[in-house]
Amino acid sequence: MISDGIIKNNPTFVLVLGMCPTLGTTTSAINGMGMGLATTFVLILSNIVISSVAKIIPDKVRIPSYIVIIASFVTILQLLFQAYLPSLYETLGLFIPLIVVNCIVLGRAEAFANKHSVCDSALDGIGTGLGFTIALTVLGCVRELLGSGSFFGLKLIEGDGMLAFILAPGAFIALAYLMVIFRKVTGKKA
């Protein structure tokens, strides 16, 4: 189930969900990883809670209820970040509250968590979250290497790399190529 989330149903490369933070926070490997882990945190917890209470929620208020639960976990994450990881909080900025509308989180809740057991939902959360985190970290690495010549903050070359990759256009292009490589390697078409 976990490997499903990483390869078969990789949210970034296969399902093409959660694109906004993917492009917006991967200016470096650490940022990408931080964002991925933050989203995974929310994903696992919301999956667990939603699958536990799915049965008592009337169908018509299903989506608003899920949204409140997800938003609460995101807010908890926000507060914890502000208190203990302020520099990462500043770098990720607007994208932290945007985890609420990250299609991945609501998508998994709707498609999976409300139909499966708590244990399975937790595993699904871990798998999908890991898939997302790996995708973000890899994209972050690529952009950081090409754009500033460093790897996880360790400078490898003198001076600058190809600036375009840290900026907007590079994000789109790097992701495109990564997607192509992923497809070739796993033989999966989106």
Partner 1 sequence: MEYVIMFISAIFVNNIVLSQFLGVCPFLGVSKRVDTALGMSAAVTFVVALATLVTYLLQGLLVKLHIEFMQTVSFILVIAGLVQMVEIILKKISPSLYQALGIFLPLITTNCIVLGVAIQVVTNEYSFINNVGAANPNMMNLPQAVVFAVATAIGYSVALILFAGIREQLELSNVPKVFKGVPIALITAGILALAFMGFSGLV
Partner 2 sequence: MASKSNFTNMVVVLTSICLVCAAILGFVYSVTAEPIRQAEVAKINNAIASVVPEFNNNPSEEVFEVDGAQVYPAKMDTTVVGYAVKIKTSSFGGPMQMMVGFDNAGNIYNTSVISHADTPGLGAKMTDNNIKLRTELVGINPASVNLSVKKDGGDIDAITAATITSRSFLKGVDLAYQVFLKVQSQN
Is 31 in contact with 92 (CB distance < 8 Å)? yes
Contact window for partner 1 (CB under 8 A) among 121-129, 135-143, 144-152, 181-189: 181-189
Q: Which does 175 bind (CB under 5 to 8 A by kind): partner 1, partner 2, none?
A: partner 1
What residues from 137 to 166 belong to the interface with partner 1 (CB under 8 A)? Answer: 164
| Cβ-based nearer residue to partner 1, 119 or 176 | 176
The helix or strand, by DSSP H or E, that contains position 45, with its residue range, turns out to be: helix 29-53
d(CA 81, CA 23): 21
| Cβ-based nearer residue to partner 1, 97 or 149 | 97
Contact window for partner 1 (CB under 8 A) among 33-41, 66-74, 122-130, 138-146: 66-74
Can you say whether the dihedral through the CA atoms of 66, 125, 171, 185 is positive or negative?
A: negative
d(CA 62, CA 40): 22
The helix or strand, by DSSP H or E, that contains position 150, with its residue range, turns out to be: strand 150-151
Give residue 107's Cα distance to chain centre: 13
Instruction: Please report, as ranges, the residues that interact with partner 1 according to CB under 8 A.
Output: 16-21, 23-24, 63-64, 67-68, 71-72, 74-75, 78-79, 94, 97-98, 100-101, 103, 106, 164, 167-173, 175-177, 179-180, 183-184, 189-190
